Structures are given as structure tokens and as C-alpha cells.
Amino acid sequence: MSPNETLFLESTNKIYKDDISSSSFVNFQIWDFPGQVDFFDPTFDSEMIFKGTGALIFVIDAQDDYVEALGRLHLTVSRAYKVNPDINFEVFIHKVDGLSDDHKIETQRDIHQRANDDLADANLEKVHLSFYLTSIYDHSIFEAFSKVVQKLIPQLPTLENLLNIFISHSGIEKAFLFDVVSKIYIATDSSPVDMQSYEICCDMIDVVIDVSCIYGHLTLGRLVEDGSGCAYDKESLAIIKLNNTTVLYLKEVTKFLALVCILREESFERKGLIEYNFHCFRKAIHEVFEVGTSAHTAHWRTASSSSNNLSALKYAALNGNDV
């Protein structure tokens, strides 16, 4: 939904489980918790909640008084760490769209310092917290989730290496391996990620899907005879030339994955070379994830497997406030 539509969402008042493994490459569940979770409540089973969790995301409202939220963060992290030391602890400093750039930096520094001081006082120096400035009014929330997901993919170094080889032999400046549904990029090459480049690649996916839904039978995809359209399939391909001699190149890798590249117009003149290198890249990706002919999704195991047969990757997203 658009950011403005979220104004009508109700506050989370119970544990809400969302399984998105059927529509996305990233096979996980999100467990969304209300802000006022009492971890000492006898009915709260910390062992069951945290044992199979790959990442714990704690959301702090940057526009609110976050002192109480920091207390809950410490309580949550300390309890979860005792159950499962392998959890990745991620802190989203959210709603930063209402803050100035200087205020954003100061808020992040303050939260970072206080949170780590609390852990040090509790002799939990081994716990590592990662902090992200996020907002739903730009792509920072997708960028943050991308970083979280990448930590849970054992094949990440291999994917980065494949992307580095692909762009170095194809004259490409930047390449992302996108999960089409969520806009999360599960891997990119080793060059630094520029937020503007990431945003324009996300926008390209939207354009391709929207246009394909309407004109798929002519250009970007296929429409089956009964009229039900497939907006993204193995025929999906798009090339967009911008007015600054930059070319955007999108091509299907698997049922859920797309390669989106940024390159110069003069480099795209060697289109045949790029197509051949992509064919090699795509074949390697399929081999990495052992993609079968009947399904193009991938499955992997985390360091600590779930004891209650949940998806291999499970998230616990906790709000630090009532909001």
C-alpha cells in the first residue's frame, strides 16, 4: 500500500504472524509483536518464540520519547540472547522522515550509545546491535530489510562474487539481485550502494510489473489464454534508457528473482556480450540454489533450526512503542 494508506492501520494489539514464503523468494515468517509485551508473563513462551528466530527487529519511534523504548529493547535483547545467542539483533530507528539530517544523526548516535551502555552494564558486551534509520516515505525501509535478509543467506558471498564477475566482464556499473515481490535486494556487487541507484532500480521493477500487467502479451511477459495475466515470468525483460546516457536493464533470473543493472549507453552497445554473460550468471544462480524444474524458489537452513517446523527463516518484529 502507499505510505498515506498506512495512516488507517490499527495499532498492533496481539502477536500477528505473516507467512510470505509462497509469494516471495525469501522464505520466512514475520512475527509482529505489540509494543507492550511482558516477557515475564507466564503465558509468554520465550523459548518457543526465540529458539528458531533468525533476526529480531526492534522498532523505535524516532519522533517520540524513546527512553521507555530503550528499556524494552534491553529487556527484549537480554531475554532473547539467553534463549538463542545466534539471533541477529536489528534496531530500526523509524519515522525519521520528520527529522532534519542533523537531528537524524544525533538521534542515531544517542540511541546507539544508550543501548550499548545498557548492554555493557548487564555484562552483555558480546551482543551486537545493528542500527538503521528508516521511513516508509522513501526506500530506506527496503534498504534496511535488505541488509537484515542478507545476513541470513549463507550463499551471500557466492552471490556477491557472481555479481562481481558478471559486471566486470559486461561493462556494468552496478547490479542488484532483487526479490521482485518485496523489493528487497538479496545481493549486490561489492561496490558501495548508492541510495539513488537503489531507488531507481526499485522504481523500474514497479514500471515493469505495471506495464506487463497491461501489455504483457505484447512486450514484457505472457498472458495465458483464459485472460489471467502473469506480470512476471521467464520472458520478462526490460530496457529503459534515461536522458543522461544511463541504461537500466532488468531480466528474469528465477520465478521470484530479477537482475537489475545500471550501465552506460556505450557499454550497452555490446548487448550480445551482456546477454551471454547473463546466461552464464543465471545458470550459476540456479546451481547455487539447486532450483528444480517444478519450483524456482530456494530453501536454506539457518544456524539454529526451528523446533516447531516453522519456515527456515523467521523474523520477530517488535514495536518499541504503542504506535
Convert the pLDDT of each residue in 103-139 to its tens digit: 999 999 999 999 999 999 999 989 999 999 999 999 9
Give the pLDDT score at 322. 40
Give the pLDDT score at 254. 86
Kind of pairing between the strands at 257-264 and 16-19: unpaired
Q: Could you tell me the pTM of the whole model?
A: 0.78
251-284 as b/e, with b when 16 or more CB fall inside 10 Å? bbbbebbbbbbbbeeebbeeeeebeebbeebbee
Give the pLDDT score at 281. 95
Give the pLDDT score at 182. 83
- How far, in Å, are 139, 179, 223 from residue 276 at the CA level? 32, 22, 27
Contact call for residues 177 and 187 (beta carbons, < 8 A):
yes
Burial class (CB in 10 A: 0-12, 13-18, 19+), 42: exposed
CA gyration radius, the chain: 21
Q: 260 - beta bridge partners?
A: 176, 250
Stretches in the chain below the pLDDT threshold 50: 217-229, 291-323
Give the pLDDT score at 180. 87
Give the pLDDT score at 98. 85
Backbone angles phi, psi at 244, to 5 degrees: -115, 30
Give the pLDDT score at 7. 82
